[in-house]
Amino acid sequence: LYEVACDSYTWHGDIYTVSGTYYYDTLTVLGCDSLEVLHLTVNYGDTIDLYEVACDSYTWHGDIYTVSGTYYYDTLTVLGCDSLEVLHLTVKYSSYFTYDTTVCGSYLFADEELTVSGTYVDTITNLVGCDSIVTVNLTVHPITPTQYVYDTICSCDLPYTFNDSIYSATGTYMQYYQNQYGCDSNIVLS
């Protein structure tokens, strides 16, 4: 007999798990001694362990997995024996952040100085190695340029009042105020 089996072969009540030549003494139907010879080839199934890390999802044998876990897939070896693939999957997740901010003049975002209001998006890597999508809804208010006021006064005009401030000596003075957007501005009085 020439037999090929997967993992094991049962012959005359015995189980064989190794390839080889096996003998069985028996009697013919007429009661004479007879010898059966088994030429056995045993092929084995496989168990294959796969360890994978993915961001958000992982596709395996046509299925999409979005949760960490252990997954199984039954298949056949090239010799036709049952085989089991075991997927040990770790799924990490992307991050999404959106925030609103209002600034005066400009805002540094994604290594770029932004001076125009709008929505801006940047992709960075989060702490677990996946994409992190950052969205900023930006409002940029203008800064009022420095205003220079030149006024010639004589000592007889002292004390001098300008924008509710009283000056008792001649010189250059700077007044700070906030414009209609709340942004810092200044006036230089000479």
25-58 pLDDT tens trace? 998 888 899 999 999 999 998 999 999 999 999 9
98's tokens: 């959106």
Q: In this predicted structure, what is the pLDDT of residue 147?
A: 67
Q: In this predicted structure, what is the pLDDT of residue 164?
A: 75
What does the pLDDT average to over 122-150? 87
45's tokens: 């199934």
In this structure, what are the phi and psi dihedrals at residue 12, rounded to the nearest 5 degrees?
55, 40
Which of 161, 155, 189, 154 lies closest to 175, judged by CA?
A: 189
The 10 Å CB-count burial string (b at 16+, else e) for 135-167 is ebebebeebbeeeeeeeeeeeeeeebeeeeeee
Q: In this predicted structure, what is the pLDDT of residue 112?
A: 95
Q: In this predicted structure, what is the pLDDT of residue 176?
A: 72
Residue 159 has pLDDT above 90, yes or no: no
Distance of CA 156 to the CA centre of its chain: 73
What does the pLDDT average to over 91-101? 96
DSSP assignment of 22-88 equals EEEEEE-TTS-EEEEEEEEEEE---EEEEEEEEES-EEETTEEE-S-EEEEEEEE-TTS-EEEEEEE
Confidence category of residue 187, pLDDT binned at 50, 70, 90:
confident
What does the pLDDT average to over 1-19? 95
Burial of 100 (0-12, 13-18, 19+ CB in 10 A): exposed
